A = this chain, B = another copy of it.
């Protein structure tokens, strides 16, 4: 029996699982943007865009600040460090598995039913 938690990774990977939200990050990399300008760019209602931004904000990937009537979104200082670390560590894990001898052997004598 093993225990696993770490909500931050849950939130950020979930945030990254949507193409629109990855696009928003792309866009904010080219400069800060208001909700309205993002909504225009991604052909979506203001309300819809606000929800996406909130998801990114909860994940710490984006920070927003409202000045006057416009809310400006920018990339969060938190960055993607934790995510990069998890991915890198496990990418090595994947590779290690395939270099293992028993893998090569079972690859050679590969038979048996599948579905």
Contacts and interface: CB of A to CB of B under 8 A. Distances in A.
Given A4-B42, A14-B17, A80-B90, 9 more contacts: A1-B42, A2-B27, A13-B17, A14-B14, A29-B94, A65-B112, A67-B113, A79-B95, A87-B87
Interface of A: 1-2, 4-6, 9-11, 13-14, 16-20, 22-23, 25-29, 40-43, 65-67, 74-77, 79-81, 83-84, 86-88, 90-91, 93-98, 112-115
Given A87-B80, A90-B29, A91-B84, A65 B114 contact: yes
Specify how many copies of this chain sit in the oligomer: 2
Contacts of A20: 4
Contacts of A74: 97
